[in-house]
Amino acid sequence: MSAAIPAMTTVAEPRRIEPPYMPAATTEPTWVRLSLIGIALLFSVLFLLIPLAAVFVEALKKGWEAYAMAIMDDDALSAIRLTLLTAAIAVPANLVFGVAASWAIAKFDFRGKSLLLTLIDLPFSVSPVISGLIYVLLFGAHGWFGAWLLEHDIQILFAVPGIVLATIFVTFPFVARELIPLMQTQGNEEEEAALVLGASGWRTFWHVTLPNIKWGLLYGVILCNARAMGEFGAVSVVSGHIRGETNTMPLQVEILYNEYNFAAAFSVASLLALLALVTLALKTFIESRLDHGEDTDPEEHTK
């Protein structure tokens, strides 16, 4: 048995790296293959590439000068600032939560773990509009805390704190979701070894756990950031659309578009589209690092 396993892996190995050996019986006829590739490409061009290209073409329709003017507009700049501020609060908050949750869930065994996992995923299955609405019900003028907040002159709704809260809600699961499976497959041995050798808990985390999960962590942060900067529905409910004050970039896009100021709307939108492209590029890069880590890890353990 033990001799058969290495023999099997050596047979399977080259097939994964080189273009697969395909006898005629297990591949499709050339015309089927070509038409499937054609359909896939046509569908992707129609639904992915053309919409993306349209953003940039529409943004530059009136030339570079108008483009620069639209972005340097005061309201647009304040929208950019607010979007950056929101992401700068929401992403670290969910990062800390994600690390804490994955440490508790992946490293320890306790009752109700699967329920906790479902609850962490919950914000993904709630409509963004509802994610905004729940904060209106809490902090709005007729909400649970509305009267108290009014008395103490604290503004949450239609102000930055509300926008940040709604953003934290919709991006809640991103980091935890990425880290939990990663930490579960890595197991506890390395941390246990560090502790047995006398390292403190924090030191173990910084020097053993963190290097192991850094790519997964970054992956979660990037996705979390993209959603935090691009969130529309939830933020639109709690923001109040005050120009130059509570408009994030996606909301600024909406306002400009509804005013038939299409070129300006697409100019601001093009910045968000660039963010999406950067996100995709980083994501692809990190995925290759994560795959790389998976490939080399078992070897390291057997050595």
Site for other proteins, residues 30 to 89, rule: CB under 8 A: 32-33, 36-37, 39-41, 43-44, 46-52, 54-55, 58
Q: Cα–Cα distance between 263 and 58 in angstroms, integer?
A: 6
Judged by CB under 8 A, the residue of 104, 147, 150, 242 near other proteins is 104
Judged by CB under 8 A, which stretch of 69-77, 180-188, 212-220, 291-299 contacts other proteins?
Answer: 180-188
Least distance between other proteins and beta carbon 126 (Å)? 6
Judged by CB under 8 A, which stretch of 62-70, 213-221, 261-269, 291-299 contacts other proteins?
Answer: 261-269
For residues 175 and 93, is the Cβ–Cβ distance under 8 A?
no
Alpha-carbon Rg for the chain, nearest whole angstrom, is: 25
In the chain the first and final C-alpha atoms are separated, in Å, by 21
**How many C-beta atoms lie closer than 10 Å to residue 203's C-beta?**
12
DSSP string, 126-169: S-HHHHHHHHHHHHSTTSTTHHHHHHTT---TTSHHHHHHHHHH
Least distance between other proteins and beta carbon 70 (Å)? 14
- 178 near other proteins, rule: CB under 8 A: no
Q: Cα–Cα distance between 30 and 25 in angstroms, integer?
A: 12
Q: How far is CA 239 from CA 179, 248, 249, 297, in A?
A: 31, 9, 12, 47
- 210 near other proteins, rule: CB under 8 A: no
- Number of chain residues interacting with other proteins (CB under 8 A): 105
Judged by CB under 8 A, which stretch of 64-72, 73-81, 254-262, 294-302 contacts other proteins?
Answer: 254-262
- Would you say 128 or 220 has its CB closer to other proteins? 128
Q: Is 232 helix (H, G, I), strand (E, B) or coil?
A: coil
Judged by CB under 8 A, the residue of 67, 135, 158, 219 near other proteins is 135
- Would you say 88 or 104 has its CB closer to other proteins? 104
